[in-house]
Every structure is written in C-alpha cells, then in structure tokens.
Amino acid sequence: MAEKQIAVVVRQYNKEEPTKAIDVVEKAIREPGQGQAQVRMIYRPINPSDIFCCQGIYGGFRPKLPAAPGLEGVGIITKLGPRATSRTTHTARQLKEGRRVVGVPWPSAEGEGTWQQYVNVPFEHLIPVRDEVSSEDAAQYLINPVTALGFLEDLKVPPGKYLLQNAANSVLGKELISLAKRRGTKLINVVRRDEAANELKQLGAEVVINSKTENVVDRVMEITGNEGAWAVINPIGGEASRPFFSAVREGGLIYIFSLFGEVVIVPMYDLHFRDITVRGFWLNKWLGRLSKEEREGKLLEVMDYMADGTIKPPPPRAKYHLKDVKAAMKEAMKGGSQGKILLEG
Ligand SMILES: NC(=O)c1ccc[n+]([C@@H]2O[C@H](COP(=O)([O-])OP(=O)(O)OC[C@H]3O[C@@H](n4cnc5c(N)ncnc54)[C@H](OP(=O)(O)O)[C@@H]3O)[C@@H](O)[C@H]2O)c1
C-alpha cells in the first residue's frame, strides 16, 4: 500500500470565504514519473495569490477540482524519477537527492500545488537553493523576489529618473526597495499609513509618501521637477488607483499587477492627452517571454541576491502546521505586511 501524506485540497471555490474552499485530506504519496523529482516540502508562504486561487478569481489558471493549492515553497529532493538527470548544466548537476530546491513553476496549474507534503516536479523546473539562504527565505523565493527583478528589467528606468510604487510596504515593495538600491534605480514609495512610512525609512527608502495625508500627484511632481515618474507599479484598484495615472510622465507606463479591487480608475484626460500606457504584469508571462537561457540566468541571479542578502524577506509573521491551514489563512487575510505566514510540516 502506498504511503500517505497530508494535503490541502480546494474542493469548490469560495469567493467570500476562501477558508471554506479548502479541506485537509490524506492522500497517497506518488512515485515521481518520467523526468520528475519528488520533493518533500518544508515551508510554503501564504501569498495574496494563494487566497485568490482559493476564491477562484486567480486568472492565470484554474486546475480541475479537487486540486492542491500553493504557488510556491521550498522542499528537499527525496527521489528522482526515470530520466530526471539528463540536463548537463551546472545547475542540473547540483540537483540530487537531499538538495533543497524551489520550483519555477511548481505544478500548481495541474492541481499539484505546494500545500501538500510531497510534490512531483518536472526536474527542469527546479532551482537549487544556495546554502546561504534559509529555508524560511527560500520558501518565498519565487513570487515576490523574481517579480521585483522582472519590474526592474522590464521598465528599464534610466539613471536619475524615478519608479513610483504603490503598496510599498508590502513584502514585494520592501524587496523592490533593496533590489532597486543595489541596481541604482530611484524609487518613490507610496504607503497609506505613517507607521508604514516610518518602517520604510528605517529600511533605507529615500522617498516615501503617505497617500492618506499627502497629495501623491503634487509630491511626485515636486520630486521629479514636474516631469512625473518614469513608470508606475500599482497593485491597488478602486479610487486609490486614480492619482497614479496622473503622477506618471507623459508617455509613461503603468503596470497593474494584482486583484486588490476589481477595477482601476484611469482619468480619461491622462489617456487622451498624455499618451500614457496601462499594462498588466504577471510573473508567469514575464518568465514566459524570456529564452530558456535568459530565464535560467535571471532565476539564478535572484538566488544570488538572496544569498548575498540584497533580497531578504521580512521574518515570517507566524508558522502554522499544514493541517492548521484554515487558521493560518485567516491570520494571513487579516493583512498587515510584517512578514508572511508560513505553512510547515
Ligand atoms: N502579478 C504578479 O505577477 C505578482 C507577483 C507578486 C505579487 N503580486 C501582487 O503584489 C501585491 C503585493 O504582494 P505581497 O505578497 O508583497 O503582499 P503583502 O505583503 O500581503 O502586502 C499587501 C500590501 O497591500 C496593501 N493593501 C492591501 N489592500 C490595500 C488597499 N485597499 N489600499 C491600499 N493598500 C492596500 C497593504 O497595505 P497595508 O499594510 O497598509 O495594509 C500592503 O502594503 C499583491 O497584490 C500580490 O498579489 C503580483
């Protein structure tokens, strides 16, 4: 009889109460197939995108239900399936049993996400974790750090110009602050609370605006000598999105990249007369646009940034056992960006 593992499954999406979408079950541990590695998971963070998946509003993919959720995490290779050793690159040579790895992507789109104890992953999708990176940090390697690099690579903000980011005190925002500093990109950071502004200043952010007490457009114009920000990244919709379109330079680009709010409000004036462009950004699409070599290069670069401390996720807010996933999700949904809730076990 096959050994059993604990797994979380989404049975039916629930937009209003995503904790009701999931159950904890026992299921058989499967042998790794052709070209796959079996990975015993260590930690998985709860990201906003995991909540969106349980709500059934995540647009990237909708696996057939029941499906194991979980878009990222870290684990240890426990077994290699047949022909899971064929790659000859430097990276592949490190991918042996006992090695800590992250998946890019994990097979979440096929309903085999990281919120289970064992995941069989295509060998080609594994990146070895550098020894300097803790498992808590490595669990958060993919979604935010790689996106932070994606923004900077895509937007190519020239020296002396500013990138304007909203929700700058999010985990992603904080990682972008340190990565941008390392790469010489200037940032204007927008938050909605004084406490968050002070926290970012202590982290080394040079320019922080509190959108609740300051006029974002006026402040950005003042900082940029009336030119506007070179580009904008904004994950927040609704009324809060409005000023970002007026704070970008003429001909500037605005990336929208989340589901916090169902609509964004774009002033017609800025679209009509100021030639601005509004685009979506989704990490998977960005990675998909790169050649195989470029992609591997960027992914290893992010691992290096984590190893040298340039990108350091905030310490986890709490750890919960996988079987206590509902309580963990409730905690994660309370918001606040002091660090991720990690699922362990
Ligand atoms: N498209 C992609 O490929 C991609 C990749 C990575 C991340 N993301 C998105 O990036 C965002 C940040 O991710 P994260 O993991 O860093 O999140 P996080 O640490 O949970 O932070 C959430 C942030 O959103 C802010 N926020 C939430 N609702 C808000 C509202 N109504 N108005 C203003 N601010 C609000 C919070 O501010 P307070 O602290 O003031 O509550 C906090 O700064 C998420 O939306 C995530 O889905 C997208």
Give the model's pLDDT for residue 248: 98
Angle at which helix 325-333 crosses helix 48-55, to 10 degrees, equals: 110
- Report how far ligand 1's centroid is from the alpha carbon of 191 (Å): 11
Q: Count CB-CB contacts under 10 A for residue 297.
A: 11
Q: Which residues, listed in sequence order, are joined to residue 260 by a DSSP beta bridge?
A: 236
Residue bearing the CA closest to ligand 1, atom 26: 167
Confidence of residue 88 (pLDDT cuts 50, 70, 90): very low
Q: Which residue's alpha carbon is nearest to atom 39 within ligand 1? A: 336
Q: Which domains does the chain have, with CATH numbers?
A: 4-140+313-344 (3.90.180.10), 144-285 (3.40.50.720)
CA 273 → CA 162, 163, 228, 246, 251, distances in Å? 22, 21, 15, 11, 10
CA distances from 227 to 84, 100, 161, 251, 334 (A): 53, 47, 9, 11, 38
Q: Give residue 337 CA to ligand 1 midpoint distance, Å.
A: 8
Residue 91 pLDDT exceeds 70: no
Confidence of residue 262 (pLDDT cuts 50, 70, 90): confident
Q: Where are the alpha helices (DSSP H) in 100-227?
A: 135-138, 147-155, 171-183, 194-202, 216-223
The two tokens of residue 191 are 């938050």
What's the 235 CA to ligand 1 centre distance in angstroms? 6
pLDDT for residue 214 = 98
Atom of ligand 1 nearest to the CA of 283: 3
* CA neighbor of 277 nearest in space, from 160, 179, 154, 189: 154
94: pLDDT confidence band, cut at 50, 70 and 90?
confident
Residue of 50, 54, 166, 172 to test ligand 1 pocket, by largest number of atoms within 8 Å of CB:
172
Does residue 260 line the site of ligand 1, with CB under 6 A?
yes
Q: From atom 27 of ligand 1, which residue's Cα is the shortest distance away?
A: 260
Q: Which of 151, 165, 170 to mutate to test the pocket of ligand 1 (most atoms within 8 A of CB)?
A: 170
322 lines ligand 1 (CB under 6 A): no
| Ligand 1 centroid, distance to 335 Cα (angstroms) | 9
Task: Read off φ and ψ for residue 34, nearest 5 degrees.
Answer: -55, 125
At residue 61 the predicted structure's pLDDT band, cuts being 50, 70 and 90, is: confident
- Is 242 touching ligand 1 by the criterion CB < 6 Å? no
CA of 167 to the centre of ligand 1 (A): 6
> What pLDDT is stored for residue 314 in this prediction?
95
Q: Is 49 in the pocket of ligand 1 (CB under 6 A)?
A: yes
Alpha carbon distance 221, 160 (integer Å):
14
Is the CB of residue 120 below 6 angstroms from any atom belonging to ligand 1?
no
Tokens of residue 6, six digits: 């604990």
pLDDT at 84 over 50: yes
pLDDT digits over 5-34, tens only?
999 999 999 999 999 999 999 999 999 999
The Å distance, Cα 172 to ligand 1 centre, comes to 8
pLDDT tens digits for range 111-149? 999 999 999 999 999 999 999 999 999 999 999 999 999
Pocket test residue of 260, 282, 286 for ligand 1, highest count of atoms within 8 A of CB: 260
CB-based contacts of 217: which residues, under 8 Å, 6+ apart? Answer: 243, 246, 247
